[in-house]
């Protein structure tokens, strides 16, 4: 998907997405992973079902498809949004819009073996209701290169278009639901893998991908690397009343995932005009 494709409501992301309606994750039969007992306890039963913040969530907070009443107002210079994966199925986007959500990130891919079977309904449904939307990739750095996974992501819905409604893709790099926390990589090796992904993504789309992570994982697995804080927007995960200490020397967060109840809740650090500016690049 090229970076400067403009403006149709139905983008190439839809054309590349799987058909909606399936209830099964579309991981290839040879998908290389089996969930750990901890991951199974959080609702990940097969390869491909990992989702943002899985280790901080519980199965009961990953499945709602309808919204709740709007929460108390956040500070004026923020915008509220959500992120979704196959766990939410077909999402009632009008309900979430009415609850005050103005952007959404949708899981497109995992590794190089899985595409979200609900991607089309979620990605285009959020757009059609009026939200600014983006796609995310759940990384599995132990089974293929960063470049390989970035290409897989872009080829299956993770691209970008300068239409003012499409956010840059996000790299979800966090706890491994299938094995060793740091995917068997050294800190230097993990930084190299991330750089490979980000460089390839930018070469394909023209955009610097957003990095979703948390302080604990980033410190353990990258040595709290500061390599990306001047180029890639930070999406920090912390389920608390404040984002806390940011990883990697980032001076500020761009997105903050602050809750998983009743669905993953996110806040953009700026007003709607800044969110549109991020979408436009």
What is the DSSP annotation of 52-117?
A: TTGGG--GGGS---S--S--SPPPTT-EEEEEE-GGG-S--HHHHHHTT--EEEEEEEETTTEE-T
**What's the pLDDT score for residue 52?**
84
Catalytically active residues are 83, 172, 174
**What is the pTM (predicted TM-score) of this model?**
0.83
> In degrees rounded to 5, what are phi and psi of residue 155?
-75, -10
Q: Would residue 157 count as lying in a domain? A: yes
Maximum distance among all alpha carbons in the chain?
Answer: 48
Q: Are 177 and 54 in contact (CB under 8 A)?
A: yes
Rounded Cα–Cα distance for residues 217 and 183 (Å):
11
For the chain, the domain total comes to 1
Question: What CATH number has the domain bearing residue 46?
Answer: 3.20.20.80
Rounded Cα–Cα distance for residues 168 and 232 (Å):
10
**What's the pLDDT score for residue 40?**
85
Length of the chain: 281
Q: Would residue 247 count as lying in a domain? A: yes
**What's the pLDDT score for residue 47?**
83
Q: Which residues contact 199 (CB under 8 A, 6 or more apart)?
A: 146, 147
Q: Would residue 204 count as lying in a domain? A: yes
**What's the pLDDT score for residue 65?**
38
Q: Would residue 94 count as lying in a domain? A: yes
The residue ranges of the chain whose pLDDT is under 70 are 1-31, 54, 57-76
**What's the pLDDT score for residue 35?**
81
Kindly report, residue by residue over 9-28, the tens digit of the pLDDT. 333 333 333 333 334 456 66
Q: Would residue 38 count as lying in a domain? A: yes
Q: Would residue 178 count as lying in a domain? A: yes
Please list, residue by residue across 86-108, b when 16 or more beta carbons sit within 10 angstroms of its beta carbon and e when fewer do. Answer: bbbbebebeebbebebbbbbbbb
What is the span of the domain harbouring residue 229? 12-21+30-280
Q: Would residue 2 count as lying in a domain? A: no
**What's the pLDDT score for residue 54?**
64
Q: Are 20 and 121 in contact (CB under 8 A)?
A: yes
Q: Would residue 182 count as lying in a domain? A: yes
């Amino acid at each position: 998907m090229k970076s400067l494709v403009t403006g149709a409501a139905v983008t190439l992301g839809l054309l590349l997405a799987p058909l909606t309606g399936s209830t099964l994750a579309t991981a290839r039969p040879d998908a290389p992973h089996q969930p750990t007992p901890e991951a199974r306890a959080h609702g990940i039963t097969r390869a491909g079902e990992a989702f943002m913040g899985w280790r901080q969530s519980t199965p009961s907070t990953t499945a709602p498809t309808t919204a709740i009443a709007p929460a108390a107002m956040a500070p004026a210079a923020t915008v509220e949004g959500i992120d979704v994966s196959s766990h939410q199925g077909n999402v009632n986007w009008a309900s979430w819009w009415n609850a005050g959500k103005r952007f959404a990130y949708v899981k497109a891919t995992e590794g190089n073996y899985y595409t979200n079977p609900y991607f089309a309904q979620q990605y285009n449904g959020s757009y059609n209701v009026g939200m600014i939307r983006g796609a995310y990739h759940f990384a599995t750095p132990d089974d293929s290169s960063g470049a390989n996974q970035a290409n897989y992501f872009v080829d299956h819905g993770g691209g970008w278009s300068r239409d003012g409604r499409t956010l840059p893709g996000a790299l979800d790099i966090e706890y491994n639901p299938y094995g060793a926390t740091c995917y068997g990589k050294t800190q230097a090796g993990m930084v190299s893998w991330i750089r490979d992904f980000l460089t390839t993504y930018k070469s394909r789309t023209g955009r610097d991908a957003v990095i979703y992570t948390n302080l604990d994982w980033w410190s353990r697995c990258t040595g709290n690397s500061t390599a990306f804080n001047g180029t890639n927007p930070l999406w920090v995960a912390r389920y608390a009343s404040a984002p806390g200490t940011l990883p990697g020397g980032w001076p500020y967060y761009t997105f903050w995932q602050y809750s998983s109840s009743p669905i993953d809740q996110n806040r953009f650090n700026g007003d709607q005009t800044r969110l549109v500016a991020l979408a436009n690049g």
